[in-house]
Structure 1
Amino acid sequence: MVQRCNWALTGSKFLCDYHDNEWGKKTTNARDIFEILSLEIMQAGLNWDLVLKKRQAFRNAFDNFEINKVAAYDTAKMEELSCNAAIIRNKRKITAIVNNAQVALQLRREGTSLSEFIWRLADNKSIINNWEYAEQVPSKTLFSEKVASELQKKGFKFVGPTIVYSFLQAIGIINDHLSYCSFKNY
């Protein structure tokens, strides 16, 4: 019998599919990491199911999260995004995503990718937690505070320790699938 983390059972098919096929799996592609970071920023104050339902609209609006393209957005493009009813139209979040694409390009110019930068902070290893209950899973940790601080030092925006913790879970640096979950990979 397939068992899932409790949160994967509380929303739509999008949420369940995301849990089963993406969440907690090691992600190293810089574009994919940028997409997840951007979606995590959009999710702040909202719920992940809503963001997943709008994911294709986000991809369409943000040129499939191609870092080079997003980094080149000008004021007119950001205004267009803030009027796009298919996505979350928060101007601060949109501005942060464009800024973060520019910072990711700067990392590349310095000889590293967004993926390499993030994974290096984790010594290129996943942290596998063995929580029994959803209530045990923290919303932030000292490690997410450290990563948030390092991202902020580089110039990333909208990357507090709670958003970063969720981001690290999403890309597999932190594996918080509950101990009984059929999708926990060791």
Structure 2
Amino acid sequence: MQINRPAWANASVAMQDYYDHYWGFPVHDERFLFEMLSLEAFQAGLSWATIWQRRAGFERAFRDFQIDEVAAFNAQDVERLLDDPEIIRNRRKIEAVIHNARVITGLHTAGQTFDDYVWHFVDYQPQRLIVKAGEALPAQTDQSRQIARQMKKDGLAFVGPTTVYSFMTAVGLVNARL
């Protein structure tokens, strides 16, 4: 079966695999939601292909994005990560991932899952975005700006409107698949 992909998804075998098996499908696995939010934060200012190619390194470095484990990282872990050549070594981004894990554990303490937190923004239904072949996705939307403001208010870090919109399309909150 031939899969209709946008141009970015045909740039490499890795991007084809990402589009065919990950991008845009509704995700309710909390660990994967956290991983994707974290990877999207690392992507800021870089290409997604760069981040996706380093995914295995990120998973190893951040203990498979197990939220409780990442939340327990300390200053020594930050220094270890800053020395890890398999990931993007940006202190602000590393610290944001650890901080966000702690915020998510706070949600758990309050009786809320990260899955519920994320999906409530779209009333638990993927939003449909119609994108024509060759048309670029918007970098952000009114909705992503609103969600980014709320996420920041709720304590999450490195969640600007562009990062949030990229996250929304990646995990299927917005369905922009062709």
TM-score, normalized by length of structure 1?
0.92
Aligned to 1:184: none
Greater Cα shift, 169-178 or 99-108: 169-178
Q: Which amino acid aligns with 1:5?
A: P
Aligned to 1:17: 17
After the TM superposition, which residues 32-181 of structure 1 pair with which residues of structure 2 at under 5 Å, given as runs?
Answer: 32-178=32-178
Aligned to 1:183: none
Residue 58 (structure 1) shift: 0.4
Hey, which bits of structure 1, 4+ residues long, moved more than 2 A?
Answer: 133-137
**CA–CA separation in structure 1 for the residues paired with 2:32 and 2:67:** 10
Q: Percent identity?
A: 38
Residue 154 (structure 1) shift: 1.0
Aligned to 1:181: none
**For residues 79-107 of structure 1, what are the alpha-carbon distances to aligned partners after superposition, in whole Å with 9 as ceiling and x for unaligned?**
10011011100000000000000000001
**CA–CA separation in structure 2 for the residues paired with 1:106 and 1:150:** 16
**Which structure 2 segments of 5+ residues have no match?**
none
**For residues 134-181 of structure 1, what are the alpha-carbon distances to aligned partners after superposition, in whole Å with 9 as ceiling and x for unaligned?**
435211011101111111011100000000000000110001123xxx
Residue 14 (structure 1) shift: 1.5
Aligned to 1:3: 4
Q: Which amino acid aligns with 1:9?
A: N
Classify the secondary structure of the residue corresponding to 1:93.
Answer: helix
**CA–CA separation in structure 1 for the residues paired with 2:176 and 2:156:** 25
Greater Cα shift, 132-141 or 165-174: 132-141
**CA–CA separation in structure 2 for the residues paired with 1:62 and 1:134:** 35
Classify the secondary structure of the residue corresponding to 1:20.
Answer: helix
